Structure 1
Amino acid sequence: MVTGTPAAGLESRLGVARGAFRLELALDVAPGEVVALLGPNGSGKTTALRTLAGLIALDSGRIELAGRVLADADSATHRPPYERRIGVVFQDYLLFPHLTVLDNVAFGPRSQQVPRAAARKLAHAQLSHLGIPELAGARPVSLSGGQAQRVALARALAVQPDLLVLDEPLAALDARTRLHVRGELRRQLAEFAGATVVVTHDPVDAIVLADRLVVIEDGRLVQTGEPAEVTRRPRTDYVARLVGLNLAGGRARGHEVRLDGGGVIMARDALDGGCLVAFRPAAVSLFLARPTGSPRNIWMGTVGGLEPHGDGVRVEVTGVWGDGSLVAEITQAALAELGLRVGGEVWASVKASEVDVYPS
């Protein structure tokens, strides 16, 4: 892939105020590393993206990329976007409809004062590397979703960036196209020598594409780590819902955890002190009467909701361990056999061996 080889990656401290909202985020990305920035709507993902790109000025903090200071609130430094060596792929790709694919990709180098012939040569090299040289003369209106995504990526890479920022890069694709393009995009990002930030709300995109996840809520970092660690041990309700786990906080004494909302749960491992417990919806069994046998965690609750999920159904059970709730995942056959309805009583159980416990 035609790209520079930065001596250092991204080191940033982003402080931005927008009315009552404030983003305070430390975001560092090493050369060759792909970081996914995750968060709910309104968490500050777009603000972070626009600040890195130079579209929003810092109120506090500093951005340094490949050893160059791009922004520093203390010294009122603010380099404009065209001086930042940052390639951005927007959610809707934003290809120029009046230009050919080749001239779309050449636009970035031309804006950096690269002569037209050299810019077009560089653009053709990027299209060839991404396997779409035959699209050079096409107009954006004729492209499929997957083709448009590749062209947008080629345009971002043509400026030989030190940082690549992708804003919901697969959101505009249908499910079948997304599956194929996701794998191809991962290969392309693995070949990029610079730092990459993928802004997304989709956990599958984040887990497949990224080496590390950074999760923000209300403008603040709430969790970061390798995908396997974040998905196994979520630290907030948002992250737990994102990765499909039940989560509760409490205090552990050995294998017993007294939950903050009331009630007790037995866990697989022993721990002492403040903790979080997590378990899979598929590990929860539901009964119409109190079950007998080996489960050590049994609660009576109320069916709060029923939602199709893949080949099965997710059942929200409210009123367990005080005012808490959990989600169980059962088959369609089990739903029919139990005859569950919203508002009805149900017993839920989960084996201690299925409950993970870790410090809060």
Structure 2
Amino acid sequence: MATGRDPMTGRTLRAQITVDRPSFVLSAQFDVPAGDCLAILGPNGAGKSTILGALAGLVTMTGEIRIDDRIVDDGATHVPPEHRRIALLEQKPRLFPHLSVRENLAFGPRSQGRSRREARAIADAWLERIELPDVGGWRPTRLSGGQQQRVAIARALAAEPDVLLLDEPFAALDAESAPTIRRMLADELARTETTSVLVTHELSDAWQAASRCLVLDAGTVVEQTTPAALTASPRHPFTAALAGYSVVHGTWDGGALVVGDDVLLGIVDGDIAPGDAAFGIVVPQDVTLSATSGAIRSRVRALSVHSGRVRVESEAGLVAELPEGTAPPAAGERAWFTPVGMRVRAARAASTRSPVLVAADPPE
């Protein structure tokens, strides 16, 4: 089933981007090999969408952006967004409401000079690919939110971009449709060999689509590694929380993590000196909960259920996972939390880090 894209057409993206923002200077340097996906993660306001805007030509920057040997932005060249062959897909599908679904899918091929017949064939092939073969004549408003996002992804890929930028494309989806569309996107990126950059708040998105991750904090790259390494050994509190760890902040006193008036025992992981700001991480299964005694007494901030087990989140950052059948304390109550085998790492400020190159191969 043809979609208009020839095989082996992935492009290599190389970017060195600096953007002056009101609160910090964003600085990032990375390579994305042809047909690969780079996931960008970080707290709100860290600069993730700013990178996508710079790549798309929508944000003023200094540095260089290159696709294979073609420069699209540097001190002397600024290719307009519409001529970069870089597509941007956001949280909202932003389909053309006055066009049918088929016409939306045919828009990119038609803009590139394909005949009406060719563009229609490409659109119909994509409708088959996304399992919506019977909605081509519908207006987008007749589709559900999940169906609209499937069409938006297909429309972006039907235009055969050299690079596809994805700005949290699953954030507005419900829990039922999001996994299906995640799988669809990962499959289509691999099949079409489209180079992509994915901004997300979900580590599961990186696992599904990306081979490398770049983590931003206040405009600075603080981690760069594979999704597996990021999950097993996160080096930043944000990624530790994304990976499902309990995260607690304090000061290292040379033998324990001091959190307010409490002292938590931990195992040093990396270089850390007495008096350094530090954070501890521990899996929720290794945090015990008691009503009478423990390492730190904290108010219960929230309760959640995962696979039938109750997780109790404290205001101190520790999360305890209770055995099945155990009655949890209510939100707002105080309880004693005790981490076992907590790893402690230095919490170095992002502003002290240098830009990090994200290459095709893991660092030594």
* TM-score under structure 2 length normalisation: 0.80
Give yes or no for the alignment of 1:226 onto 2:218: no
Greater mean deviation of Cα atoms: 1-10 or 13-22: 1-10
1:38 matched residue in structure 2: 41
Point out the structure with max Rg over C-alpha.
1
CA contact (8 A) 1:51 1:57 kept: yes
Is the Cα–Cα contact under 8 Å of residues 10 and 162 in structure 2 kept in the other structure? no
Shift of 1:27: 3.0
Amino acid at match of 1:3: R
Partner of 2:312: 315
Q: Give the C-alpha shift of residue 271 in structure 1.
A: 6.2
Please give the root-mean-square deviation of Cα atoms over the aligned residues, in Å: 3.1
Partner residue, 1:349: 338
Q: How many residues align?
A: 336
Q: Which residue of 2 aligns with 1:159?
A: 159
Residue 146 of structure 1 aligns with which residue?
146
Report the CA distance shift for 1:133/1:81 in structure 2 as closer, same or farther (over 3 A): farther
3-state SS, counterpart of residue 271 of structure 2: strand
AA aligned opposite 2:139: R
Q: Residues 57 and 117 (structure 1 numbering): CA distance in 2 closer, same or farther, change over 3 Å?
A: farther
Give 1:174-253 correspondences, 5 Å limit: 174-247=174-247
2:46–2:219 Cα contact (<8 Å) kept: yes
Partners of 1:195 and 1:10 lie apart in 2 by 8
Give the whole-Å Cα distance in 1 for the aligned partners of 2:161 and 2:331: 55
1:162-199 C-alpha deviation (Å, 9 max, x unpaired): 11112222223221112222222222222131211122
Unaligned 5+ runs, structure 1: 291-297, 319-323
* Corresponding residue number in structure 1 for 2:362: none
Query: By how many angstroms is 1:140 displaced?
Result: 0.8
Which of 72, 83, 99 is matched with 1:70 structurally?
72
Distance (whole Å) between structure 2 residues aligned to residue 335 and residue 201 of structure 1: 31
| Identity value in percent | 36
What residue is the counterpart of 2:50 in the other structure? 47
How far is the alpha carbon of 1:228 from its aligned partner?
A: 1.8
The aligned amino acid for 2:232 is R
1:120 aligns with 2:120: yes
When structure 1 is superposed on structure 2, of 274-283 and 222-231 the one drifting more is 274-283
Is this contact kept in 1: 2:288–2:339, CA < 8 A?
Answer: yes
- C-alpha change, 1:35 and 1:356, in structure 2 (3 Å) is same
Q: SS in structure 2 opposite 1:181?
A: helix
CA contact (8 A) 1:126 1:157 kept: no
TM superposition score normalised by structure 1:
0.80
Per-residue CA shift, 1:288-307, capped at 9, x if unaligned? 344xxxxxxx6242335343
2:257 alignment partner in structure 1:
259
1:102 aligns with 2:94: no
| Paired position in structure 2 for 1:305 | 301
**CA distance in 1 between partners of 2:14 and 2:207 (Å):** 22
The structure richer in strand per residue is 1
Matched, 1:17 2:20: yes
SS at match of 2:215: strand
Q: Contact 2:212 / 2:224 at 8 angstroms: preserved in 1?
A: yes
State whether residues 6 and 66 of structure 1, in contact with CA within 8 Å, keep that contact through their aligned partners in structure 2.
no
Indicate if the aligned counterparts of 2:145 and 2:173 stay in contact, CA closer than 8 A.
yes
CA distance in 2: counterparts of 1:14 and 1:327, whole angstroms: 37
- The residue that corresponds to 2:357 in the other structure is none
Provide the rounded CA distance (Å) in 1 between the counterparts of 2:218 and 2:252.
Answer: 29
Which residue of the partner structure matches residue 84 of structure 1? 84
